[in-house]
Amino acid sequence: MNNFFPLSGFIPRFTLHGCTRFAVKLDFLAGVLLKALEATGTKDFRGVQARVGEVLAWRNLFWAITDAMCHHPVPWVDGYILPNLEYGLAYRVLAPTVWSRVRQIVLDDVASGLIYLPSHAADLLNPDERPYLEKYVRGSNGYDAHNRIKVMKLLYDAVISEFGGRHELYERNYAGNHKNIRLEVLLAETAIGVVEKLKGFAEQCLAEYDLTGWT
């Protein structure tokens, strides 16, 4: 039973699945964030642009990890191959921190845009109320009240609602608790010889000089 994880190829495959799923989520959240910043009129602020760039960089990183896992596979049994375990373990450690960071950027930069919203779609269908919403809840860059509210409600559901809060907890624990996902990187790198290789790299440098200088 204890041999299932290391011998079945489960971890390389589950991390490829998880990293792909996570990268798609970042695609989605980045897209909704970009639209929300258009609607609030802050998309051209330098600080906001810098943080959007960070979100896109994280998105690029996780797609790069999936590519690396597929294009640099490792031999398995009977001529089969597995996604690269080292890169999969890197995803496993980074994803929980990154999701919380991206969520923080949404909260900081969309800010009260996620609060200043009617409570229900029925408000938009009320002919007495609709003119006030069109006047006071409209967005920038051509977003009318309906489209601004629709974007903000979607973003709210993704990061703030009961679902959104639970989802952050899910991502933080999806691949294991915060200690184990780090510890198992060390255990895996030790088992496949990377730890000794890295120490050897340092020892090669140390061997190239002594008390009298470079050898």
Q: Percent of the chain, pLDDT > 70?
A: 100
4-178: in CATH 3.40.50.300? no
* pLDDT reading at 150 higher than 90: yes
- Whole-number average pLDDT of the chain: 95
Total-model pTM: 0.91
Q: Confidence band (pLDDT; 50, 70, 90) for 134?
A: very high
b/e per residue 133-165 (b: at least 16 CB within 10 A): beeebbbeeebebbebbbbbbebbebbbeeeee
Counting DSSP H helices and E strands in the chain, the numbers are: 10, 4
**Per-residue confidence (pLDDT) for residue 2, from 0 to 100:** 79
Rg of the chain, C-alpha, whole Å:
24
Give the pair of three-digit tokens for residue 185: 């990187």
Q: What is the reported pLDDT for 6?
A: 73
Cα gap 84→23, rounded to integer Å: 17
156 closest CA partner among 120, 102, 99, 106: 106
Backbone angles phi, psi at 52, to 5 degrees: -65, -40
Q: Which residue has the tokens 């375990």?
A: 85
Q: What is the pLDDT of residue 188?
A: 92
Q: What is the mean pLDDT of residues 91-108?
A: 97
